[in-house]
Structure 1
Amino acid sequence: MSGLRFFHDPASVAVIGASSDPEKIGGRPIRYLQECGFAGAIYPVNPQRSEIQGLVAYPSIDALPVVPEVAIIAVSGANAVAQIVRCAELGVAGCVIMASGFGETGDEQGLAWQAEMLDAAARTGMRIVGPNSQGLANFATGAVLSFSTLFTEQPPEDGAVAVVSQSGALCSVPYGLLREAGIGVRYAHATGNDIDVTAAELAAEVVADPEVKLLLLYLEDIADLDSLAEVARTALDRGVPVVALKGGRSEAGQRAAASHTGALATEEGVVDAFLEKHGIWRARSTRDLVAAAGLYLRPGRPAGEQIAIVSNSGAICVLTADAAAEEGLPVAELTVATKSELTEALPSFASVENPIDVTAALLTDSSLFGRVLPVLGRDGGVHGCVVGIPVAGRGYDVDRFARDVSDFEDSTGVPVVMAVPQSNIARVFREKGLVVFADESEAVRALAQYLRHHTLIARARSRELGRCALDSRLREPRTVLNESESLRLLESIGVPAVEHVLVHDAAEAAEAVEQLGGGPVVIKGCSSEATHKSELGLVRIGVPAGEAEAVVQQMFATLAREGLANEGAIIARMIKGVHEGMLGARFDPVFGPVVVIGAGGIHVEAMPDVQLLLPPFSLDDALAAIGRLRIAAVLGGVRGAPAVDLDAWAAAAVALGDAMLDPAAAIHELDVNPLMLLPRGGEVQPAVRAVDAVVIRSAH
């Protein structure tokens, strides 16, 4: 805790707009500070009161016996602005502004007030959280500078989880769900408008706390990328998983698309790529944000993603396996040795295949879990376990079940999730520290997140996490290259392009075809003013050598008819790929360079199948992205079709990513569709070829 330490452990706190009513916004922070054991001085400020909640009250901040380290601003409008200005003049280190009615309204007056507060703080170096902030809470020090109702409904308990949110509600709800599950929370920060101190900046502070083992984030925009990248680096160094829920869209993300790439590289896709690259799991709901928290807090790290399923119900075994299939979580294939041991442990009529049904014999033989689970723990292919107990109670030794499952998890390090619908039975397992859900789908979903997140973290640790500076490309005028220029640029950066000849006279066509080894060929009208040529009749495929001159003349006539600049005609070698892929890139004004890799063809926007990568990235990163495409299932060769050269495709993506990092390349946006994917080990090497390209780059 360095730059913002005073928000987490201040020597003194002034509450400006303090209330005697502990349920009001100006009263709750005083109540919480006293109840949570804050050791510093508390100074209520209210000109109408001499005593507030048992403390001496002061008429103004100037009347305080000392300059407080932190001030809570619980007054509104122009009064809040005046108090901020005075706090800055006195040398207050930081302010938490709870009042709303500023920049979040879009109102001109609110924005002006916000600017005035920022200006006053900037003159002295005072830091501001808010406005429109629910407040900050550190339950380790008792510095609860917040008015959250949930701290009353779910009493605080210090723990290993930190929650940082740009929304008050999305701080309180995860806090409440965690406390309801018996999980302690150390930090609960709701920052509001983030005009100065950002949620990411606070997150970078709290994740450095050695007692924090899990960080949960809610972000409505990702403007402070440097701080978020610092969060990721610190979290990776410390082994702290970070789970983020992202809502809303920033203005910078709402851009017009000049190409397929522009349409496909959406803000949400780029956010996904940024978080994945940095090892941050993106939750899709509030429930997902907290569901796996108990797993993250267990010791150890999983070695893979394969699971075993054990239940006393065959139906639950089937349903759990179905849930695993829906999540894409592999059910482990048990070794011969494991099956042999299970044969000894299970009743003769039970199956030793995974999922493992211990059968109704559990009612009369309470030792079954204790015998089966250790066998699975010795199988190196089992990285997680789901235990389903749909029915138990009278006649079942539930205490022994809970002890056996807990001992298994402690001794092997294999994470376990329980699916137990009966609340009284579930409580027995929770009391043993086990993670319990009401049904198998929830259990599998949480386990899948936990296992996959650790795979994500392992990949992130192996990456270079430096971020490209937003260079001068954002300010420079842009120009669209014609296709011939675009193909030459691709070749220069290491992306193989189709062999072609640019002709400016129809009489040159025959010689161009001969230069390419004869027909048939592809002929296209070439103009930087036409990025989508097929719709204009500027593309002809399979042109015989003898017809090339006539087709070139037709192309020139079409360019003239459409009023497009005539920059020649491209005569290109015919190439037919096993499949069509695409590559793209653009320079995002928030995230910097973004590379798109995916399935190509005419339907790329209507049925997108793409993955996004943020440079720099490795060949392995590119191959992993290709493996996540829906088209991946056919790339290895099916129904007699040969396998395509995935390494060549990945290498072209890496080359494009490296070029996007180079300001000298000056690429704003680039689109290759289709990229012909050719057979691995075939005649054409490298086995990819760009046959159509659009490049937008700096004009200078």
Structure 2
Amino acid sequence: MTDELVMRPDPQKRTPTVSSARDPLHAVLDPGSVAIIGASSDPDKVGGRPVDYLRRYGFGGVIHPVNPRRDEVQGLRTVPSLAALDEPVDVVLVAVPGAAAVEAVEAAAKAGALATIVMTAGFGETRSPEGVAQQQRMLTAARTAGMRLFGPNSQGLANFGTGAVLGFSTMFAEQPPQDGPVAVISQSGAMCSVPYGLLRRRGIGVRHAHATGNDADVTVGELAAAVAADPQVRLILLYLENLADPESLAAAARVARERDLPIVALMGGRSAAGQRAAKSHTGALAGERRVIDAYFAELGIRRAMSMPELVDTTELYLQDWRPQGRRLVVVSNSGAVCVLAADAAEDRAMPLAALSAETEERVASVLPGFATSANPIDVTAALLTDSGLFGRVLPLVAEDPDADAFLLGIPVAGKGYDVPRFAVDAAEFAARTRKPLVVAAPQESVAEEFRRRGMTVYPDESTAIGALDHYLAHAELRRSVRTEPRSYGTGPASADPVTLDEAAALARLADAGIPVVRHHLCRSRDEAVAAFAELGTGDVVAKGCSIDAPHKSELDLVELGLTTPDAVGAAYERLSARIRHLGLAFGGVIIAEQVRALHEMVVGARRDPTFGPVVLIGQGGKYVEYLPDVQVVLAPLGRERALQAIGQLRLARVLGGVRGEPAADVDALADLAVRVGEMVATDPGLVAIDVNPVMLRAAGEGAVVVDALVLAG
């Protein structure tokens, strides 16, 4: 991509980013006038940089430096206060410290400003009573006047399409702006500057670079929704430190979806905080990280796990591709690269395309006899003498219905190789087929030839396949996202939920139409023996029942394989004595049918205070927390989404039937997960449900709950 130093819009030709210039969120992206309280003559100071940037980067509106001690700032006449202005301003920047910043916000509200950006720190982020109180005072002043507040502790907002650079980041001077198709929005100033700098270093233009700070009023989600409406934006990158307002980001995702606009998010602070239901497997496993992943997946947002992962795929999103699948074709002039690329694809669970016999024959017809026509395709060193090999092979493979994406690996080329022709052929192929194609070329001279023609180049095949994997997986995700709006958050769950005993928990599930094991709660030896006779199954299970024993096997409160009345009676005596010996509340002894099945699964649900009901589906049993293979989705969910989650388990291939075993009844498991999700979604008194194990039988034979834990507020 070409890299221009600075893009300066012509003020006479400048067009608003959005249609409504008087809406506060939109006005801050394209203001007609800006006042800087604490404006400085020194362009290296916080109060001086916005003045310098507005003038340097082509802002076409009116700039009002506010400084009572100077007549002029950077060649502009100052005013002593906002009250001295003859007309209201759209946006006010606050660059004065402490209590003066609070007073500046109140002055901006009184002056009728649409929005105020507080760059000053030392407020809510400090968690000190004084800082929190001062931030609340700013917020009250803004809301009373109908003014929107950005920050405090904001590095500022910058729209390089309009020249409205309303911030103080030094990165804008070190990496001069170029208007482009990418938007960066961050709750952290540093994590706004870093991706901006990395992208600019690659020659990628950035249109928006916004750091929202404390999000006291305007959240990163609200700002993302406004930016998503900008028709020039083709990719949004987010850095988040909290998701206190999931509704606003969901609204931004809906706007983005309407425009087919991808969003990629990096989130810091991946902790296990806020698990009200930690007594259950679901509470432990459906922790904050998995719930956030489920939330992002529902919105079609790809979650990056590092800064390189956030930016490395950027150029892929800016290509004019129409990806349809993930099956990869590798073409290289090195057998070693073919092997390493195949390994990298397997590591990523990215299947190599199985080319048809006809395709392989056609490829073989244009390659030398010692080349490899199967995927991965090794054209060998013959490329040195025949520069048209890539150009002839790629179109032949592209016609194969299994070929979704391509990696062109060129580990060595240079003098004697017609590298410009390789690049031209590859670029023409990508443009014609609109199928994703990435290049792995460690030699800079080779890489540059491809970049000059708009191709995406990585230094090695592993990095290239990793980026392609993220991009293609995101394309699949975006095609399957939920389209209907939903509400998030239920407020905090009960701080001290009550644990139902197993009998009561099974009864709640049965009332909801969930199949549970046949069982009887017994309070005497005679009742236990009678229950055995009534079940008539040949062998039963005896379990101690107590609200104090959510996990009975750890307390030696489960006996299996009881086949006679005497054995059942003796088990009852032992278990009831064991409960009393442990000092637990005695709820009785459950005598239940011993169920056998193909697989033990776990299904659970809990009420997350931020995101609302979430459902967990996975492999169950007593090792569920130690060898977790689970998926978490937001509730309520439909059967299709439940089946999709089951299909993403590592166990999924086994559930389909292997080594002579029949396929499992995944439809029954999906239906059970849907019903458990509905229970928590519709009953605000339920904090968590943990169903483990679910005994999953062969296809058509159903699934049965044999143990359950319910926490109710």
Coarse TM-score class (shorter-chain normalised): over 0.9
Q: Distance in 2 between matches of 1:324 and 1:172?
A: 33
Quickly say closer, same or farther: Cα 1:287–1:469, change in 2 above 3 A.
Answer: closer
Is 1:113 the counterpart of 2:128? The answer is: no
The CA deviation at 1:12 is 0.6
SS in 2 for 1:467: coil
The CA deviation at 1:256 is 6.2
Q: Distance in 2 between matches of 1:560 and 1:323?
A: 57
**Aligned counterpart, 2:707:** 692
**Aligned counterpart, 2:596:** 576
Q: Distance in 1 between matches of 2:49 and 2:489?
A: 43
- TM-score for both structures, normalised by structure 2: 0.94
Which AA in structure 2 matches 1:505?
A: S
Matches within 5 A, 1:309-328: 309-328=330-349
Write the deviation string for residues 37-72 of structure 1: whole angstroms up to 9, x where unpaired: 111100111122111111111222222232211111
Instruction: Confirm or deny: 8 A CA contact 2:275 2:283 kept in the other structure.
Output: no
**Aligned counterpart, 2:11:** none
Q: Distance in 2 between matches of 1:316 and 1:556?
A: 66
The CA deviation at 1:630 is 2.4
Is 1:272 the counterpart of 2:293? The answer is: yes
**Aligned counterpart, 2:326:** 305
The CA deviation at 1:482 is 1.4
SS in 1 for 2:216: coil
Equivalent position to 1:168, from 163, 170, 189: 189
Is 1:486 the counterpart of 2:505? The answer is: yes
**Aligned counterpart, 2:120:** 99
The CA deviation at 1:558 is 2.4
Is 1:69 the counterpart of 2:84? The answer is: no
Instruction: Confirm or deny: 8 A CA contact 1:468 1:661 kept in the other structure.
Output: no
Instruction: Confirm or deny: 8 A CA contact 1:221 1:249 kept in the other structure.
Output: no
Quickly say closer, same or farther: Cα 1:324–1:425, change in 2 above 3 A.
Answer: same
Equivalent position to 1:663, from 665, 672, 683: 683
Equivalent position to 1:372, from 384, 393, 414: 393
The CA deviation at 1:545 is 2.5
Equivalent position to 1:431, from 452, 455, 462: 452
Instruction: Confirm or deny: 8 A CA contact 1:302 1:454 kept in the other structure.
Output: yes
Write the deviation string for residues 572-627 of structure 1: whole angstroms up to 9, x where unpaired: 00112222111111001111001111111111112222110101323232222222
The CA deviation at 1:142 is 0.8
SS in 1 for 2:365: helix
Which AA in structure 2 matches 1:696?
A: L
SS in 1 for 2:480: helix
Q: Distance in 1 between matches of 2:182 and 2:107?
A: 35
Instruction: Confirm or deny: 8 A CA contact 2:24 2:148 kept in the other structure.
Output: no
**Aligned counterpart, 1:125:** 146
Equivalent position to 1:632, from 652, 657, 667: 652
Instruction: Confirm or deny: 8 A CA contact 1:316 1:440 kept in the other structure.
Output: yes
Which AA in structure 2 matches 1:671?
A: D
Question: Any unmatched runs of 5+ in structure 1?
Answer: none
Instruction: Confirm or deny: 8 A CA contact 2:337 2:411 kept in the other structure.
Output: yes
The CA deviation at 1:535 is 2.7
Instruction: Confirm or deny: 8 A CA contact 1:494 1:656 kept in the other structure.
Output: no
Quickly say closer, same or farther: Cα 1:638–1:380, change in 2 above 3 A.
Answer: closer
Equivalent position to 1:608, from 628, 632, 655: 628
Matches within 5 A, 1:34-433: 34-248=55-269, 253=274, 255=276, 257-433=278-454
Q: Distance in 1 between matches of 2:508 and 2:41?
A: 71
Equivalent position to 1:500, from 516, 519, 523: 519
Q: Distance in 2 between matches of 1:499 and 1:71?
A: 69
Equivalent position to 1:585, from 605, 611, 616: 605
RMSD between aligned residues: 1.8
The CA deviation at 1:223 is 0.9
Which AA in structure 2 matches 1:182?
A: G
Q: Distance in 2 between matches of 1:474 and 1:536?
A: 28
Is 1:677 the counterpart of 2:692? The answer is: no
Q: Distance in 2 between matches of 1:154 and 1:440?
A: 29
**Aligned counterpart, 1:565:** 585
Q: Distance in 1 between matches of 2:425 and 2:212?
A: 44
Write the deviation string for residues 513-547 of structure 1: whole angstroms up to 9, x where unpaired: 12111432101122223212223332111112322
Q: Distance in 2 between matches of 1:74 and 1:55?
A: 17
Of 80-89 and 614-623, deviating more is 614-623
Of 556-565 and 86-95, deviating more is 556-565
Instruction: Confirm or deny: 8 A CA contact 1:278 1:465 kept in the other structure.
Output: no
**Aligned counterpart, 1:474:** 493
Write the deviation string for residues 642-678 of structure 1: whole angstroms up to 9, x where unpaired: 33212211121112122222137x3210111111122
Quickly say closer, same or farther: Cα 1:607–1:476, change in 2 above 3 A.
Answer: closer
Q: Distance in 1 between matches of 2:140 and 2:66?
A: 24
Equivalent position to 1:460, from 471, 481, 493: 481
Q: Distance in 1 between matches of 2:679 and 2:125?
A: 39
Which AA in structure 2 matches 1:545?
A: T
The CA deviation at 1:352 is 0.8
- TM-score for both structures, normalised by structure 1: 0.96
Write the deviation string for residues 434-457 of structure 1: whole angstroms up to 9, x where unpaired: 011111111111111111101000
Which AA in structure 2 matches 1:645?
A: D
The CA deviation at 1:254 is 5.3
Which AA in structure 2 matches 1:142?
A: G
Of 99-108 and 587-596, deviating more is 99-108
Q: Distance in 1 between matches of 2:257 and 2:515?
A: 36
SS in 2 for 1:661: helix
SS in 2 for 1:253: coil
Question: Any unmatched runs of 5+ in structure 2?
Answer: 1-17
Instruction: Confirm or deny: 8 A CA contact 2:276 2:495 kept in the other structure.
Output: no
Equivalent position to 1:649, from 669, 692, 695: 669
Percent identity at matched positions? 52
**Aligned counterpart, 2:549:** 530
The CA deviation at 1:505 is 2.3
